[in-house]
Amino acid sequence: MNTITKEELAQNQNAQIQNNIENQIIETSVKQDTVSPNAIIIQKKYYRDCDHLVREEQEIPNELVNKTEEDVKEQFPGWKIQEYSPTEIILYQEFDGYCDEHYVAREHNGLIGIYHINEQGIEKLKEDTEISTMYLPEEDVEKLKIGVPIIGRKNLYNFLEDYE
């Protein structure tokens, strides 16, 4: 016959109570990645009609700092989040039509003029540069008289840098 002392009974009861308490504890700490104040947003815009992908980069707006991925989704309806991290958010959306990065560089009043081309192919003078065609090689002047098509702001800046 096994005899349990009062002391052993009390220890068993305390152990059972402690075990019950430990089993009732539910962990509620959830780590969510939030947007850092030095994060960047990259917007990728795909234009179906001209088949161009335009990439724009911007600093994170103050209202998105310390926000979650779900908060970002709410802030950018219609956009797909391709990547999300505390330091970089990449968004993607497709559009019908043409992007607004179609240009033609041509001679205009002795300078290199930059023309914007709309969806209908109509050119509109955007600006005259300060680059004179007077000192350019004859071959470049002939190309500029016909018009040099340029797609993308970056390509436009690179084109103009070649003549500065």
40-55 pLDDT tens trace: 999 999 999 999 999 9
- The tally of domains found in the chain comes to 2
Whole-number Å distance between alpha carbons of 115 and 127? 7
CA distance 10 to 30: 37
Domain of residue 140 covers: 102-163
Is the same domain home to 111 and 91? Answer: no
Long-range interactions of 23-26: CB distance < 8 A, separation 24+: none
C-alpha to C-alpha distance for 22 and 24, rounded to whole angstroms: 5
Q: Which two tokens stand for residue 91?
A: 């968004």
- As a whole number of angstroms, the distance between CA 103 and CA 143 comes to 14
* pLDDT (tens digit per residue) in 141-154: 999 999 999 999 89
Q: Is residue 24 part of a domain?
A: no
Tell me which residue has tokens 């505390």: 86
Q: Hey, which residues does 162 pair with through a beta bridge?
A: none
- CATH classification of the domain holding 55: 3.10.20.420
Whole-structure pTM value = 0.67
> Does 15 reside within a domain?
no
